[in-house]
Amino acid sequence: MAHAWTITSFYRFLDLEPDRLDALVTELSEVLREQGIWGLVILATEGINATVAAESPDTIARFKMLVCERLGDDGIRFKDSTSEIKPFRHQNVVGRTEIVTLRRPDLHPDDPESSHLSAREWHAMLGSPEPKIVLDTRNRYETVAGKFRGAIDPGLDAFSEWGEYLDRAELPTDVPVMIYCTGGIRCEKAILELRARGFEKVYQLRDGILGYLAEFPDGEFEGECFVFDDRVALDQHLQPTTRFGICPGCGLTGSIETRCAWCGGRFLACEDCTPRPALTCCKTCRDRVGRHGVRFGA
């Protein structure tokens, strides 16, 4: 029987001196390797953003304690889930200029609590008859798997397009705006861009879709939640998807069952790539089709 992996996802905006940052990258890299922790930890002078997994829940518990201790911060909100499949193939701790890439390292979330709605408050506000705009701050390849009922999908290819979208969208600034993302981190910066453009009432979903689904499965979120690991997406009960895969043609979200032109194996491709005549499940099969031609038609 496959054993479950314990996964935790968290972020925190805080000030890290460059020297401290470098030391933490080194230390956490060693910890991941020594403890058998898999996943990605991003550090920048503005804070930390991570999703990591281990086979033992105790390993994850110890890792959380270590992170809180090293950052001198016990207010970090960890979002946990489990998976029967190993969600990561790498053990990466990296230093970057931002922990979430808006290409605005100058923006510092400074008011982390007042604009946040709990899952319960968010759920109630969505259900209220008051006018509001619900905006998804995620990318197109994520919203294709699911989004909140009635939410506007800005159609972003990357989060760094958020500001341009707001300039183009001409949304009314006097109607309350509700924004959400996967785990909450993108909204911490997205809200600053909204405020800078004069939006008066902006609310962000604390802990994102993952936090919402933990309390309201089969609620106002429709479909599944894309995640950035080998689980691809999580269903309403935070279990790995059976509906979506990573399209081998383009690397984005796929849901159309397709037959590999070389090995005949089944995989999930996206709408744009499916019409291609020699789509293959992996690079090895693609190379073989390149040398020997197609073995299986669609």
Residues of this chain that interact with Zn ion (CB under 5 A) are 247, 249-250, 260, 262-263, 265, 270, 273, 281, 285
- Closer to Zn ion at the Cβ: 199 or 262? 262
Using the minimum distance from each CB to Zn ion, give the nearer residue, 86 or 276: 276
C-alpha 187/C-alpha 177 separation (Å) is 12
Q: Do 117 and 203 form a contact (C-beta atoms < 8 A)? A: yes
Residue 247: how many CB atoms within 10 A of its CB? Answer: 23
- In terms of CB distance, is 14 or 263 closer to Zn ion? 263
Instruction: Say how far apart CA 180 and CA 271 lie, in whole Å.
Output: 26
Active site residues: 181
Type of residue at 24: L
Q: How far is the CB of 145 from Zn ion (least distance, A)?
A: 14
Sign of the alpha-carbon dihedral angle for 285, 289, 295, 298: positive
Q: How far is the CB of 274 from Zn ion (least distance, A)?
A: 8
Angle CA 50–269–212, to nearest 5: 40
Torsion over CA: 203, 208, 211, 214 (sign): positive
Q: How far is the CB of 262 from Zn ion (least distance, A)?
A: 5
By beta-carbon proximity to Zn ion, the closer residue of 61 and 282 is: 282
CA distances (Å), 84 to each of 2, 14, 90, 166, 213, in order? 6, 33, 17, 40, 19
Q: Considering the complex, what minimum distance in angstroms separates the CB of residue 230 from Zn ion?
A: 17
